[in-house]
Amino acid sequence: MRVLVAGAGISGLAAARGLIGAGHEVVVLEQAPQPRVQGGAITLWHNGTAILGDLGVDLEGTGQPLTTLCLRTARGRRVLEFDLAALAERFESVARVIPRGSLITLLESGLPQGTVRFGARVAELRADGGGVQVRTQAGQEYAGDVLVGADGVRSRVRTLVLGDGPAALTGVATWQGLTPAPFDPGSTTTMMVGRQGDFGYMGAGDGLMQWFFDVPWSPGAPPEDKPLEMLRRRFGGWGSPVERVLASLGEGDAEAFPHTRHKVPRRWGGGRCVLLGDAAHGMPPVMAQGTNQALEDVATLVDCLGAVPDPASVVDVHSVVEVYSARRRRQAALASTIATHSLAVSGPRTLLQGEYLLRLNGAAPPRLATRGFGTLLRTLSDRI
């Protein structure tokens, strides 16, 4: 089958790896003029690393393996601790934090030369019984049997196929960065939660630390010209190591990423076009589900396309959209709901994030907490 993939981010490149491995001919259309290796680090849970392993991506020696997930109050008191090493043994796959650029490089390095066409932003598409034709903004034309829209929360493919626009803003933003670590966080990823928002940090390998702060975000507000001063005011008085991390940062280290959320559609495409990743279900980065759910999409889509007996048959290709959508919709919608509602940075729900209530609700024994987190990951995955 000839497959066109729009977008050379993590999900698009992973899809290309999986589809080529399954024997399909693949061309990836990327609007940027070169690989997009900027950005911070991402957390891959056990299902995400397992799927990448299935795709032949060797993560050994890249990033930071995780053995513990720790939840603390704003004062730094431990609420819950999850044993990720025990879950790694159970699921036979290690959770890991990896710089986004490193993962992009790993994914692209395994593709045949010329697979990715840069400077190729999808402008128009036409799908009929004979296949799908794409015209780029630069006037280039490509043809295939199927088009995979993996072009993110501002997906042009989603707009052309479903008729709706970019993902909606949620009123929260993450200020984050990937910078030299002011101390060694080891193999623990830590999140501190309070009524002002939350703060998280984890090692990313090679002496780097990924850190983030979630705060209210108003699209109509003037740009924050001194974000570090704002963060120091908002998170002043929080327990260690908040002040230490903020003291280590310089102007330009903090970058804002407004949270967005797509309504997860009933059908993830139409005709010969399917969606995956943020194009299908853009969600806030809370709980680090976006990339992991995108990789679940990839594994399911590769499986569904492998079952098509005749790529020339419109009926066979249409059935892929139906089956793929049905298999992925429930898990992606649940992940999106959890990511959207598990954190509050303003309003009455912040009362639940006060010091006393957090500690009261965090009395579960570590083994029980770990089992619950493992059950959640399994609920959101078909791989583990």
- pLDDT per position as a tens digit, 223-279: 888 999 999 999 999 999 999 999 999 989 999 999 999 999 999 999 899 999 999
pLDDT of 376 over the 70 cut: yes
The closest alpha carbon to 197, from 376, 362, 70, 349, belongs to 349
pLDDT of residue 314: 57
pLDDT of residue 306: 87
Average pLDDT, the chain: 92
pLDDT of residue 363: 65
Residue 336: φ, ψ to 5°: -65, -40
Q: Which domains does the chain have, with CATH numbers?
A: 2-65+99-168+261-341 (3.50.50.60), 169-260+347-379 (3.30.9.30)
pLDDT of 199 over the 90 cut: yes
pLDDT of 311 over the 90 cut: no
pLDDT of 95 over the 70 cut: yes
Beta-carbon contacts of 269 under 8 Å, excluding residues fewer than 6 positions away, are 149, 161, 162, 275, 321, 324, 325
d(CA 61, CA 298): 24
| CA-CA-CA-CA dihedral for 360, 192, 332, 54, to nearest 10 | -120
d(CA 94, CA 150): 26
Task: Work out the pLDDT band at 222, boundaries 50, 70, 90.
Answer: confident
Query: Per-residue DSSP letters for 353-380?
Result: GSHHHHHHHT-S-HHHHHHHHHHHHHHT
pLDDT of 3 over the 70 cut: yes
Contact between 65 and 186 under an 8 Å Cβ cutoff? The reply is no
Percent of the chain at pLDDT exceeding 70? 94
pLDDT of residue 316: 67
Report the 10 Å Cβ neighbour count for 341: 11
pLDDT of residue 361: 66
Ranked by mean pLDDT, which of 85-94, 160-169, 304-313 comes out on top?
85-94
pLDDT of residue 190: 98
Task: Work out the pLDDT band at 362, boundaries 50, 70, 90.
Answer: low
pLDDT of residue 318: 73
pLDDT of 294 over the 60 cut: yes
d(CA 382, CA 179): 34
pLDDT of residue 221: 78
